[in-house]
Amino acid sequence: MLGIARAHTNIALIKYWGKKDKDLFLPMTSSLSLTLDAFYTDTKVQFDPSLQQDEFYLNLIPQEATPITRFLNLFRQYMDKTYYARVESLNFVPTGAGLASSASAFAALAGAINVASQLHFDAETLSTFARQGSGSATRSIYGGFVEWEKGTSSQTSLAKHIDNAEWDIGMIIIVVNTKEKTISSRSGMEHTVKTSPFYPAWVESSKQDLIAIKKAIHTKNFQTVGEIMEWNSMKMHATMLGANPPFSYFEPESILAHQQVYRLRQLGLPVYMTMDAGPNVKLLCRASDMDTIKKELSSVFSKNQLISSLPGKAMRTLTEKEWEHSLNTFKEHQL
Ligand code: 2P0
């Protein structure tokens, strides 16, 4: 009863910001993302009759297993025979890069449990499980462009694959260094839904953005995809400025990054920005322009503030040999 899986992080182009049902992680709006190749989580799950409780190791270090137990129970309710499990995760999402790893973490965990439990749910169903770990994990079940349909129930709030994104597309993450503690996305979105008079407008506008971006993805219209992405992100952040009391994830360097994007566009480079529940700025650009853009940005940001990635693939299962390889890679990088 062993299962191993790899899932990649994703960045939302059409954002998820607000829950209709906190317990089931049902979102107020549908969202759409791009899965990224460079950042992923590998997870191994073994159900073991000799265990007295669930065990969880993150990057080889033992952790409190309660959230994992809660997630394992979502699957255990369908299993004939249930055992405790040993869960080992390796995060290949650079720490300090300010990228949320919960998306890849819960998608990989769902994938590994799916094999270990021998339940073999299909990918869409699996995304409904991943969702109950963290909303954005719903979308990390698939590669390329992915839509999370908000649905009306736990069974219908799921991910759908939209496009492999195997065209000239990439992302550059501008890491904005900040030591300040920010508001978690979970509490930030709750506060926004409750208090921002802009929130209903966001729901309506985001619905339109989703329709338009899907059309643009379908016709591979890069400029329109970028423009809609940028506008959607700004509108999401505007809901926070309108909350009571207001809050914002912007840092001075986020604004600096925005100014650079405007400058790059004036130079004729098609590049667009988006920001999540943190100060880092993510750029959508042509993969073939990534080196030029990084070079341009190096006058303002240091090399290690600029991380790039191509589109990534869907969650997949790994063999034990691949796990051993992953473990060795992780240990080498740690040294
Ligand atoms: C997104 N974010 O669509 C949006 C945009 C942040 C801003 O998904 O409470 O960690 O676990 O469902 O998924 C971050 O929120 O929140 C997020 P929970 P999650 O990517």
pLDDT recorded at residue 270: 97
How confident is the model over 187-209, as a mean pLDDT?
98
For residue 136 and ligand 1, the question of a CB distance below 6 A is answered with yes
Give how far Cα 94 sits from Cα of 41, 51, 106, 119, Å. Answer: 11, 32, 17, 32
Q: Hey, which of 132, 136, 250 would you mutate to test ligand 1's pocket, going by the most ligand atoms within 8 Å of its Cβ?
A: 136
Q: Which two tokens stand for residue 152?
A: 């009306």
189 CA → ligand 1 middle, Å: 9
What is the DSSP pairing of strand 85-92 with strand 55-58? parallel
Q: How far is the CA of 107 from the centre of ligand 1 (A)?
A: 14
Question: How confident is the model over 274-312, as pLDDT tens digits?
Answer: 999 999 999 999 999 999 999 999 999 999 899 999 999
12 lines ligand 1 (CB under 6 A): yes
The answer on pLDDT for 170 being more than 90 is: yes
CA angle 125/81/122 to nearest 5° reads: 15
Answer whether 278 contacts ligand 1 (Cβ < 6 A). Answer: no
Q: How far is the CA of 261 from the centre of ligand 1 (A)?
A: 24
Tokens representing 25 are 């992680």
Residue range 223-248, pLDDT digits in tens: 999 999 999 999 999 999 999 999 99
pLDDT band at 99 (very low <50, low <70, confident <90, very high): confident
Distance CA(292)–CA(130), nearest Å, equals 37
State yes or no: pLDDT of 181 exceeds 70: no
CA–centroid distance, 100 to ligand 1, in Å, is 8
Asked if residue 100 has its Cβ within 6 Å of ligand 1, the reply is yes
**Does any ligand 1 atom lie closer than 6 A to the CB of residue 16?**
yes
Nearest atom in ligand 1 to 10's CA: 20
Residues 6+ apart with CB under 8 A from 149: 30, 156, 157, 158, 159, 160
Least confident window among 57-71, 94-108, 113-127: 94-108
pLDDT of residue 75: 97
- Span from the CA of 185 to the centroid of ligand 1 (angstroms): 6
Q: Residue 281 has what pLDDT?
A: 96
Ligand 1 atom 7: the closest Cα is on which residue? 276
State whether the beta carbon of 135 lies less than 6 angstroms from ligand 1.
yes
Q: Are 40 and 97 in contact (CB under 8 A)?
A: no
Residue 93 banded pLDDT, cuts 50, 70, 90? confident
The answer to whether residues 199 and 183 touch, using CB atoms and an 8 Å cutoff, is no
Compute the distance from residue 105 Cα to the ligand 1 centre, in Å.
Answer: 13
Answer yes or no: is pLDDT of 180 > 70: no
Task: State the pLDDT at residue 178.
Answer: 60
Distance 292 CA to ligand 1 centre (A): 31
Which residues, in sequence order, are bridge partners of residue 306? Answer: 174
Task: Please state the atom number of ligand 1 nearest to the C-alpha of residue 102.
Answer: 10
